[in-house]
Chain A
Amino acid sequence: DAKTTQPNSMESNEEEPVHLPCNHSTISGTDYIHWYRQLPSQGPEYVIHGLTSNVNNRMASLAIAEDRKSSTLILHRATLRDAAVYYCILRFLSYNTDKLIFGTGTRLQVFP
């Protein structure tokens, strides 16, 4: 069901920027791109979302390709607390199907 493709795992050193890629070549015009992350032994938490334009918030930035077939989640300075599984999700614009369809995500390891 998942319409996104992400690398299984990535590594980073603390204090360095991290770019987490996501491919969604079958995205439709009404699909929003959402990112959630799941810290160990916790529930998923919202990170950021966007439609066409790049987005910034206090947690991260989201860069969306012009054709919208790929996007990149950017953590500007990774911390140990950012070690988690990051999920890139396409969210449908529909009353009866407003649900998150999770893929396998990218497991991010952060080293001190």
Chain B
Amino acid sequence: DTAVSQTPKYLVTQMGNDKSIKCEQNLGHDTMYWYKQDSKKFLKIMFSYNNKELIINETVPNRFSPKSPDKAHLNLHINSLELGDSAVYFCASSQDMRTFGNTIYFGEGSWLTVV
């Protein structure tokens, strides 16, 4: 079983559309994250949630709205997609943010292309 799974793996969509990427972890972790890897391969955190509570929001445009229905899921909804949103989005999870140093497990990524 995949520990952190994301869907869809590939997504091609037009500018202006609204799309969602879903993420689920079956590790029983309390903390989940969204990271973005741009065309230059820089990986940067976008959001983190701990037990459904937003902890980190790295000044991401408000077109990006994470939603955590329960601690095993963290979905990313993007409104009014722009060309610059094209990137690979990685979902991740860790045991508990309060337990420092625990391993962060990443999903395989969702390749978003906006045309």
Contacts and interface: CB of A to CB of B under 8 A. Distances in A.
Contacts, number: 54
B86 interface: no
Main secondary structure, interface of B, reads strand
B106 to A, nearest CB: 3
Contacts of A100: 35, 43, 45, 104
B69 interface: no
A44 to B, nearest CB: 5
Interface residues of B, number: 26
Main secondary structure, interface of A, reads mixed
Contacts of A32: 100-101
A96 B56 contact: yes
Interface of B: 4, 31, 33, 35, 41-45, 48, 55-56, 90, 92, 94, 97-98, 100-101, 103-109
